Amino acid sequence: MPELFWMSLVVFTAIIILVAIRPVRRQLDGKLWLGVFLGAALQALLGLLGLVTHRAPLLFALPTAPALGTWAFRADALSSLLFLLLGCIGAVSSLMAVEHAKHHGAGTSAGMTAVVSVQFVFTSFLLTAQNVFPLLIAWEAMSLCAYAYVLVLHQRRAVRRAAYITLLVSEVGFLLLVLAAILATSRTGAFDFVQVTAHLRTASAGLRDTVFLLALFGFGAKSGILPMQLWMPDAYDAAPAHLNAILAGGLLNLGLFGVLRVTAMTGELSVWVSLIVVWLGVLALFAGALFAVIESRLRRLLAYSSIENVGLMVISLGVATVFAAHHNARFANVAMMALFVQMVSHALAKALAFLTVGEVGRRFGSTDLERLGGLFQIMPGVGLALLIACLTLATVAPFSGFASEWLTLQGMLQVYRSLSGPQEVLVAVAGMFAAAGAALAVTAFLKVFVFAMTARSRTSPALSERPHRTSFWGGASLSLLGVLSLAYGWFPTSVMPSFQRVIGDVLSSTGPLRNIVPTVFHSPVSNPTMVSLGAGGLGFFPAPGFVIQPGEFVATIAPTYILLWFVVFALLALGISRLPLRRAYATRTVPAWLGGREHRAVASEYTSSAYANPYRMFWSRLIGYQINRQLVSGTADVPRQWQLQRKTRQWLGTEHWFIPTKAFLRLTAKVRYWQHGYLWGYLVTILGAVLVMLAIAALYR
């Protein structure tokens, strides 16, 4: 395993050096992405071996410094999972970049291969660091690389603004992480994770909760945890598709990785902190799904979907900490298992979605649902890949999104085993909003596929005849991600034993694996529910262990059974359609009634905005939905043409931050005038600052 780690770093370092040599860079421009593919594949293999072999080797360690401690780097189970996930997505995205480089697409230059390589180098140190200092250094370097991803098309003002907001939020999150590190290490002066963990486990509950919340929002700046998500819609709309896949499918999970690292250090949290985490996740899930429904630009829609999926993972984290604080290891295991299932599911599906949307944009020059339609006939392979991504992100059974959401809701339903009455009510209400958000997510991705792939095209006929086709590299990347996403959804319990080791790194105590993946086919008496559904009679298929059952008195779900019945009913429908029937029952085709029109016009069909209008109007008070009508021609009694303008308050973007920002600027202007206009104002300001610092020092002591 250490050999694979160093081999990947050598590959990425070689790419950086080759890019620095201008003559070589010109000759290898476009081919360097194959080097990125090799380095990412090595890291994926490193993560796979770490999960399979149950090893956590020490990669290397620097000499101990008097003030900084020992800088050791180790690949444990949690970092192995992230290596596998980020390596797979990086490898697939680099293959798509090879495809886009042939057409001189944005973000495919040799310079960008160097940026991606730098990001993977620092990500390697981030995942393996066992000390606070190298973790913070690697985190800051990775954030700067993400800023470069967004700034590719810097000629556009909107792109520069999106990149600036991305960097600003990242720096605010970094400041919160520095504060968390100061609080966690100030008493002992030790920066090694083992020593920090020992200190936090014996510290007061208030210190543990404060460190956790600071880390939650600090690392959450990269994952889009509320309220740190405001950069995501604009950034995802600005970055190229293959870089978006790395951002949403890979780097987003690094924020969750940091939160899980801190969760492992802090141990038990207060119940009110866990409930705050649950409600942050619920609000993100519901709001992200709602804005995804009313959004017509595909990249922004996928950004809102990322906020919704991160919210689902945050719910799982909150529920897991509730059970862990009450030493209910079985259901803490269930909730944490839901988090990791969702992490992998979302990463694969979202990377696949961004790559397919990138292909649509490259081919047709637009990713707006108002202009798309009928693409499945033109590009069936891309349409099939988008269908897999939509079904997964919409949490439709038997795809992997359904398994993770089902486990999360099962964990929320079991909180009565640990919480008191008012706390149970809070979680129950949160479950209602989570279920509503899940329903909105289904609606959003139904809209995506229907209006992009099956509706009639609203673009110019010439666009469907553009010469760019998906070549071998693009098709290979989409096929690989599609197959991985399908296999992971149909057989989710095949990877759960590996997740069990990862859970052991995060939670101090875990429940037995048989409560999650029982061998009901070997011992059907222990599970009468599955016997009643035919499990005992179908011991040959699906294989033992393909049933998810969190524990006693909890519903059971078998994704492979759902898949089996999907296949059975599909074959049955196909057989019925091919049977020779009597004329009286034969299928008849009649022309559709067009309301008096001779031909069906595209303009007479529903648009994605019209599809989402009922949701806009129903939630109009929440999202500030307004319609302004202006008469263009005709009279008020007999109008001939209207101009409609819709306005929605973008709560998940930067719009709602303008009000406190303007208020803060007005306040600072007055303070600045007070300081520079009068000597006594300057002296009073200094005296007030000194008194505040003395009060903080006295309270902290």
Contact 554, 410 (CB under 8 A): yes
- Between the alpha carbon of residue 165 and those of residues 160, 169, 174, 573, the distances in Å are 9, 6, 14, 52
Which pLDDT value is given to residue 174? 92
Which pLDDT value is given to residue 558? 62
- Between the alpha carbon of residue 150 and those of residues 2, 30, 220, 299, the distances in Å are 32, 20, 18, 13
Which pLDDT value is given to residue 518? 46
Which is it for the CA torsion 550, 286, 284, 165, positive or negative? positive
Which pLDDT value is given to residue 350? 92
Which pLDDT value is given to residue 661? 77
Run of H or E residues at 574: helix 559-578
Which pLDDT value is given to residue 552? 55
Nearest residue to 241 via CA among 507, 478, 62, 453: 478
B/e letters for 153-165, b = 16+ CB within 10 Å, e = fewer, are beeeeebeebbeb
Q: Is the peptide bond before 233 cis (omega within 30 degrees of 0)?
A: no
Q: Which segments in the chain show pLDDT lower than 50?
A: 461-467, 515, 517-525, 530-545
Of the CA atoms within 13 Å of residue 19, those in its CB half-sphere come to 23
Strand partners, 58: 74
Rounded (10°) angle between helices 329-364 and 77-101: 10
Which pLDDT value is given to residue 408? 86
Which pLDDT value is given to residue 334? 82
Q: Where are the beta strands (DSSP E) in 315-462?
A: none
Tally Cβ neighbours within 10 Å of residue 367: 22
Which pLDDT value is given to residue 676? 67
Which pLDDT value is given to residue 323? 87
What residue ranges do the domains of the chain occupy? 1-199, 525-576, 618-653, 663-700
Q: How long, in residues, is the chain? A: 701
Which pLDDT value is given to residue 120? 92
CA distance 541 to 567: 13
3-state secondary structure of 550: coil
pTM over 0.75: yes
Which pLDDT value is given to residue 194? 85
Nearest residue to 135 via CA among 180, 89, 183, 86: 180
